[in-house]
């Protein structure tokens, strides 16, 4: 089967399409024929070598790319309830692995997958796992809803879900995004949109990684939740700071997919591209301004 991998991190040209043996699922794992794989900032960071520099990569030949996937189960390991033919979405989590979701077939823990509900397409489903779970887990880190919440990057992958989920949790959400994002951010549930980081909030969920600037917008004794665990800004004894580190959760993913099927959450696809255009997809995402996920179709 074909997969997109990185041998030597670097520019978008570092992405290579290789022919590799089809992986075999072990106990508790499923193999999925990937219908669509999401292109996310973490894939750009992996390809650029961010995690190599942190010493997190221990692969001998290459690292695989891609966390988000949707497709058809083609094989199951022992102890798995999914059956061949099931349509699932799932999270291929982690940066230190030879193969990820950018592949014709991907093996993931069954606990990281969920059945796709009726009415939701494979492409729409592939946009949900990473950003939906990150947003849900970041909102959970904020604790009980307690007044006003600023979500930076409110029109992005994580931020878009976070606006809807935090609103539903009872926060009064303001979104920081571009002027052109007003309709989306307000329709997701925000009461206001700002385009510059100003104001005072009970909490901030910093999906745009404004870091110290965002901490500065939190009231004394408020909360800051970031999205970059190795770089949590200092709250200087004034603000409680933490960062989400997404973990796979098939049960939570099932809820997110169901909410997407019913329209409570929006599935946003910006474009679909063949797997061998992964380099071009990275270039497009790096340029900014994407709304909705780019998807690779192996």
Ligand X SMILES: NC(=O)c1ccc[n+]([C@@H]2O[C@H](COP(=O)([O-])OP(=O)(O)OC[C@H]3O[C@@H](n4cnc5c(N)ncnc54)[C@H](OP(=O)(O)O)[C@@H]3O)[C@@H](O)[C@H]2O)c1
DSSP state of 103: B
90 touches 250 (CB < 8 A):
yes
Q: How many residues bind ligand X (CB under 6 A)?
A: 25
| Binding test (CB under 6 A) with ligand X, winner from 30, 42, 57, 278 | 42
CA 281 – CA 101 distance, rounded (Å): 14
| Binding test (CB under 6 A) with ligand X, winner from 159, 222, 250, 298 | 159
| Binding test (CB under 6 A) with ligand X, winner from 29, 32, 40, 215 | 40
Residue nearest to ligand X (CB): 156
Report the nearest approach of ligand X to the CB of residue 166 (Å): 14
Give the footprint of ligand X on residues 201-230 (CB under 6 A).
Answer: 207-209, 227, 229
Using CB under 6 A as the binding rule, whether residue 153 contacts ligand X is answered as: yes
Bridge partners of 236? none
Report the nearest approach of ligand X to the CB of residue 72 (Å): 25
- Pick the closer one to ligand X by CB: 163 or 208: 208
Tokens at 258, concatenated: 């169901």
Using CB under 6 A as the binding rule, whether residue 74 contacts ligand X is answered as: no
Tokens at 84, concatenated: 């061949």
Of the candidate spans 17-25, 75-83, 157-165, 232-240, the one that interacts with ligand X by CB under 6 A turns out to be: 157-165
Tokens at 296, concatenated: 């690779």
CA 216 – CA 81 distance, rounded (Å): 48
CA 231 – CA 197 distance, rounded (Å): 20
Burial class (CB in 10 A: 0-12, 13-18, 19+), 235: middle
Tokens at 185, concatenated: 């951010």
Report the nearest approach of ligand X to the CB of residue 91 (Å): 10
| Binding test (CB under 6 A) with ligand X, winner from 120, 151, 177, 248 | 177
Cβ neighbors of 92 (< 8 A, separation 6 or more) are: 64, 66, 67, 68, 69, 100, 101, 106, 108, 112
Q: CA geometry: angle at 136 spanning 193 and 258, to 5°?
A: 100
- Pick the closer one to ligand X by CB: 118 or 196: 196
Report the nearest approach of ligand X to the CB of residue 176 (Å): 5
Using CB under 6 A as the binding rule, whether residue 241 contacts ligand X is answered as: no
- Pick the closer one to ligand X by CB: 35 or 95: 95
Burial class (CB in 10 A: 0-12, 13-18, 19+), 111: middle
| Binding test (CB under 6 A) with ligand X, winner from 37, 39, 107, 130 | 130
Residues that bind ligand X (CB under 6 A): 40-42, 130-131, 134, 153, 155-159, 176-178, 207-209, 227, 229, 244-246, 288-289
């Amino acid at each position: 089967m074909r997969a997109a991998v990185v041998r030597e991190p670097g520019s978008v040209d570092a992405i290579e399409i290789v022919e590799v043996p089809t992986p075999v699922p072990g106990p508790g794992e499923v193999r999925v024929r990937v219908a669509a794989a999401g292109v996310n900032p973490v894939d750009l960071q992996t390809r650029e070598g961010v995690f190599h520099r942190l010493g997190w990569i221990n692969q001998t030949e290459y690292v695989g790319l891609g966390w988000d996937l949707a497709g058809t189960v083609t094989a199951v390991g022992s102890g798995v309830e999914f059956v061949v033919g099931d349509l699932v979405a799932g999270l291929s989590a982690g940066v230190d692995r030879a193969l990820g979701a950018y592949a014709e077939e991907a093996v993931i823990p069954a606990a990281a997958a969920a059945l796709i509900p009726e009415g939701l397409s494979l492409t729409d489903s592939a946009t949900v796992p990473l950003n939906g779970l990150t947003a849900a887990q970041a909102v959970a880190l904020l604790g009980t809803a307690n007044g006003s919440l600023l979500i930076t990057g409110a029109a992005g992958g994580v931020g878009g879900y976070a606006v809807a989920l935090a609103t539903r949790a009872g926060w009064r959400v303001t979104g920081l995004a571009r002027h052109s994002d007003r309709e989306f951010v307000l329709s997701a549930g925000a009461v206001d949109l700002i385009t510059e980081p100003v104001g005072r909030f009970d909490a901030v969920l910093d999906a745009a990684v404004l870091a110290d600037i965002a901490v500065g917008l939190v009231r004394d004794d408020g909360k800051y939740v970031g999205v970059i665990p190795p770089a949590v800004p200092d709250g200087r004894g004034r603000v409680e700071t933490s960062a989400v580190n997404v973990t796979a959760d098939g049960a939570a993913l099932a809820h997110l997919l169901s909410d997407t099927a019913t329209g409570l959450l929006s599935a946003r696809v910006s474009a679909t591209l063949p797997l061998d255009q992964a380099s071009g997809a990275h270039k497009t995402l790096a340029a900014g301004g994407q709304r909705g996920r780019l998807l690779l179709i192996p």
